[in-house]
Amino acid sequence: MRYGFVIDQNRCIGCHACTVACKEEHNVPIGVNRTWVKYIEKGQFPDTRRHFAVLRCNHCDDAPCIEICPTVALFRRPDGIVDFDGDRCIGCKSCMQACPYDALYIDPNTKTAAKCNFCAHRLEVGLRPSCEIICPTQAIVSGDLDDSTSDIAKIVASQKVTLRKPGKGTHPKLFYVGVDGDLLEPTMMEPQSMHLWADKHQGEDLYALTTTGGRKDNTSALLDRLREENRVPSNPGLAREVYDVPHPTPWGRMIAAYLWTKGIAAGSLLVAATLLAAGYKGDPLLSLVSPVLALLFTGLTVSLLVFDLKRPERFFYLLTKPNPRSWLVIGGYVLFVYGIFASLWLFFGLTGRAVPHVVLWLTALFAICAACYTAFLFAQAKGRDLWQSPLFFWHLLVQAVTAGAAALIGLGVLLQSDSTVMGALTKLLGGSLVLSAAMILAEVSLTHVSEDSKRAVDLLKKGSLSGTFWWLVIAMGTLLPLLLLISLTIPIPAGAREAAATVLSVSASILALVGLWFFDNLWIKAGQAAPLS
């Protein structure tokens, strides 16, 4: 048994009765929707036409939201319905990133995710979904796709039906008859600053106010304006979005800060392990300071992850109700084990003993895992094409080396560490900056497989984010630190050499860390700039 929907847009009159019925049936708050109607227009007056489509959860056979959910709050029932258990949800919003169809939202009352559940409670007592019952033109048909005698199976077998984003490989079970293709491809539409009856950002501001307890968050409106500024040129044949519901961006600066602190946490011991393995021994910077730095920033990373949850009091569900397929859960375990090895490292440093080779290499291994597991987490966010980059794993690793070396250089100057150790750190920093610059330029220069990814990259290269990208990430955060490190090799009088080296190396380290922060922030913003529905 596999329940699915067919929506016949040839019959649909755009009356929004399904939206209202859904809100009433499930007590859906103002500002969010489980099912909604989107309008587009084509042509120029007087030769214009309006098209609309009903959008909602697709109840995919291979639902990415189930895979990424860390607490099994999302699950597939035996009848194929993708259902949701709000009592298990921690409000991490990762499901919103995984869904390519914008079907999930955060309920402002419960602070948990929610979506269409096919009115499962009605099906269990022999009733049809409320949206299907109320539709005045019988445009919505539900039923068992595996039953060849059902109405829905007959429609799918005998009529031309359309799916949303079949290339995502989710195998959706929401079929459309007679829908305009542009409606199902958001990149085919020209965004508008106004909707039929209002400034579209008013709806986003209302959502922000209701979901943050009165605290306005401009992230969603900002990114929507970025989309408008990066749109393709207007032409008479281009579809224009004229009505839609708010689609706020799930992640903001807290996640960018998490990437930044995690890079320092992982990189500090990865760099220290590399130097110790290379024979640089006896310096407290490597034996004591590096594990303290790793533990401090690992704690900050975990704190940022917890504070970003809509239900932070439920964070322990990651341990008591885990989904072993979610990289959010796997990453939590990785950080925990990494913290144990960092503590062991610190113990040997405090007791004046050398770190055993097995601890050294296992710590380095888990440092790499801590730095790079986010690449797999972002890969599970199938709704965001920019984050599917195959270079992201290696870029995170190089960023960790940059962050670790830069942080240790700053602390090494304060502690007046051994000059040979400081020299090795500057070489690691310089080499990692070269690799980082190469990877960033490769990310923005290589051919992109989707329009969403291309538009996200265009925002960085020539759109509204380009100033920050080129000046603060590339120039200030990468090239300038490299020039400062290169200048350390220029011969200068012996009396001024030490002071100049200190100023140049510390300046390069600070600039590199600032550049990493701006890149992480831009990566989060650009990745969410492409509309999903």
Spell out the SS3 assignment of 164-216. CCHHHCCCCCEEEECCCHHHHCHHHEECCCECCCCEHHHHHHHHHHHHCCCCC
Exposed e or buried b for every residue in 356-386, given b needs 16+ CB within 10 A?
A: eeebbebbbebbbbbbbbbbebbbbbbbbbb
Domain ranges in the chain are 3-190, 253-527
Q: What is the pLDDT of residues 511-529, one digit of tens each?
A: 999 999 999 999 999 999 8
Q: What is the pLDDT of residues 134-182, one digit of tens each?
A: 999 999 999 999 999 999 999 999 999 999 999 999 999 999 999 988 8
Average pLDDT over residues 108-121: 96
Determine the Cα–Cα distance for residues 64 and 95; give it in Å rounded to an integer: 8
Residue-level pLDDT at 188: 81
Determine the Cα–Cα distance for residues 489 and 500; give it in Å rounded to an integer: 11
Residue-level pLDDT at 492: 65
Q: Whole-structure pTM over 0.85, yes or no?
A: yes
Model confidence at 384: pLDDT above 80: yes
Q: What is the pLDDT of residues 77-101, one digit of tens each?
A: 999 999 999 999 999 999 999 999 9
Confidence class for position 247, pLDDT limits 50, 70, 90: confident
Residues 6+ apart with CB under 8 A from 336: none
CB distance 131 to 21 below 8 Å = yes
CATH number assigned to the domain with residue range 3-190, chosen from the 4 options 3.30.350.10, 3.40.50.460, 3.30.70.20, 2.40.50.100: 3.30.70.20
Determine the Cα–Cα distance for residues 257 and 308; give it in Å rounded to an integer: 11
Model confidence at 6: pLDDT above 70: yes
Three-class SS of residue 507? helix
Give bridge partners of residue 131 from the DSSP assignment. none
CB distance 80 to 69 below 8 Å = no
Joined together, the tokens standing for residue 48 give: 């214009």
Nearest CA-CA partner of 180 in 267, 240, 223, 226: 240
Mean pLDDT in the chain? 90
Q: What is the pLDDT of residues 385-416, one digit of tens each?
A: 999 999 999 999 999 999 999 999 999 999 98
Classify domain 253-527 at the CATH class level.
mainly alpha
